Amino acid sequence: MTAEIHDIADQRPHLMVVASDGPHVIPRALIQLVIDGKQLSAILTEPVVQRIIEEWLQKVSA
């Protein structure tokens, strides 16, 4: 398995999402662009989207 690695140190803050395919560090601004409809959600992998939804559901169900 190969992964594309990007230095996002200058893109703080960022989120860490531990998905079924491993950990992902994603700039918060990118997530906000997806929420705002300015970036397609397809930029996020399916396991990342699944984990974000899972964590959200846990928070709203608590």
Q: Is the distance from CB of 47 to CB of 19 less than 8 angstroms?
A: yes
pLDDT at 2 over 90: no
Q: Check: pTM over 0.95? Answer yes or no.
A: no
Q: How far apart are CA 62 and CA 48, in angstroms?
A: 21
Report DSSP state, residue 33: H
Q: Name the band, by pLDDT with cuts 50, 70 and 90, for residue 11.
A: confident
34-57 average pLDDT score: 95
Q: Which residues pair with 17 in a beta bridge?
A: 24
Q: Name the band, by pLDDT with cuts 50, 70 and 90, for residue 12.
A: confident
